[in-house]
Amino acid sequence: MKGSKNDEETKVDWRRKLTSRKFWVAIIGFSTAMLTVLNVNSLTIEQVAAIISALGTLVSYIISEGMTDVAEHNGNDRKISKTSF
Protein backbone atom coordinates (compact mmCIF):
# COMPACT_ATOMS: atom_id res chain seq x y z
CA MET A 1 0.00 0.00 0.00
CA LYS A 2 1.49 3.32 -1.07
CA GLY A 3 2.24 5.84 1.65
CA SER A 4 2.18 3.32 4.51
CA LYS A 5 5.09 3.13 6.91
CA ASN A 6 7.07 -0.07 7.25
CA ASP A 7 7.68 -1.77 10.60
CA GLU A 8 11.04 -0.06 11.16
CA GLU A 9 9.51 3.40 10.85
CA THR A 10 6.65 2.67 13.25
CA LYS A 11 8.62 0.91 16.02
CA VAL A 12 9.02 2.85 19.25
CA ASP A 13 12.60 3.18 20.48
CA TRP A 14 11.83 2.46 24.15
CA ARG A 15 15.46 2.60 25.22
CA ARG A 16 15.67 6.18 23.96
CA LYS A 17 12.30 7.16 25.43
CA LEU A 18 13.00 5.68 28.86
CA THR A 19 16.31 7.54 29.12
CA SER A 20 14.79 10.85 28.05
CA ARG A 21 14.38 13.48 30.76
CA LYS A 22 11.55 15.02 28.75
CA PHE A 23 9.64 11.73 28.93
CA TRP A 24 9.93 11.55 32.72
CA VAL A 25 9.01 15.23 33.15
CA ALA A 26 5.92 14.58 31.01
CA ILE A 27 4.99 11.60 33.23
CA ILE A 28 5.43 13.74 36.36
CA GLY A 29 3.41 16.59 34.85
CA PHE A 30 0.57 14.31 33.83
CA SER A 31 0.52 12.53 37.21
CA THR A 32 0.59 15.82 39.11
CA ALA A 33 -2.30 17.20 37.08
CA MET A 34 -4.38 14.05 37.52
CA LEU A 35 -3.76 13.92 41.27
CA THR A 36 -4.67 17.60 41.58
CA VAL A 37 -7.95 17.02 39.73
CA LEU A 38 -8.68 14.13 42.10
CA ASN A 39 -8.15 16.46 45.12
CA VAL A 40 -5.16 14.56 46.45
CA ASN A 41 -3.25 16.53 49.10
CA SER A 42 -0.06 18.39 48.18
CA LEU A 43 2.28 16.22 50.24
CA THR A 44 1.11 13.06 48.47
CA ILE A 45 1.51 14.73 45.06
CA GLU A 46 5.08 15.74 45.95
CA GLN A 47 5.85 12.21 47.09
CA VAL A 48 4.47 10.71 43.87
CA ALA A 49 6.54 13.16 41.80
CA ALA A 50 9.66 12.25 43.79
CA ILE A 51 9.05 8.52 43.30
CA ILE A 52 8.56 8.95 39.54
CA SER A 53 11.72 11.07 39.36
CA ALA A 54 13.70 8.44 41.26
CA LEU A 55 12.32 5.71 39.00
CA GLY A 56 13.34 7.68 35.91
CA THR A 57 16.86 8.10 37.26
CA LEU A 58 17.12 4.40 38.05
CA VAL A 59 15.82 3.27 34.65
CA SER A 60 18.15 5.68 32.83
CA TYR A 61 21.13 4.43 34.82
CA ILE A 62 20.32 0.76 34.22
CA ILE A 63 19.87 1.26 30.47
CA SER A 64 23.04 3.36 30.19
CA GLU A 65 25.08 0.76 32.06
CA GLY A 66 23.62 -1.97 29.85
CA MET A 67 24.61 -0.06 26.72
CA THR A 68 28.12 0.42 28.11
CA ASP A 69 28.42 -3.28 28.95
CA VAL A 70 27.29 -4.27 25.45
CA ALA A 71 29.81 -1.88 23.87
CA GLU A 72 32.62 -3.28 26.04
CA HIS A 73 31.56 -6.87 25.30
CA ASN A 74 31.64 -6.19 21.56
CA GLY A 75 35.12 -4.68 21.85
CA ASN A 76 33.83 -1.30 20.86
CA ASP A 77 36.13 1.36 22.29
CA ARG A 78 34.17 4.37 21.07
CA LYS A 79 31.91 6.19 23.48
CA ILE A 80 28.18 5.68 23.23
CA SER A 81 26.90 8.92 21.76
CA LYS A 82 23.12 8.37 21.67
CA THR A 83 22.23 9.14 25.25
CA SER A 84 19.82 11.74 26.53
CA PHE A 85 21.95 12.96 29.40
Q: Report domain extents, the chain.
A: 42-84
- Indicate the pTM of the whole model: 0.66
Give the distance, in angstroms, between the CA of residue 21 and the centroid of all CA atoms in the same chain: 7
Q: In which band, very low, low, confident or very high, does the pLDDT at 75 lie, cut at 50, 70 and 90? A: confident
Find out whether 83 and 64 touch, Cβ atoms under 8 Å: yes
pLDDT of 4 over the 70 cut: no
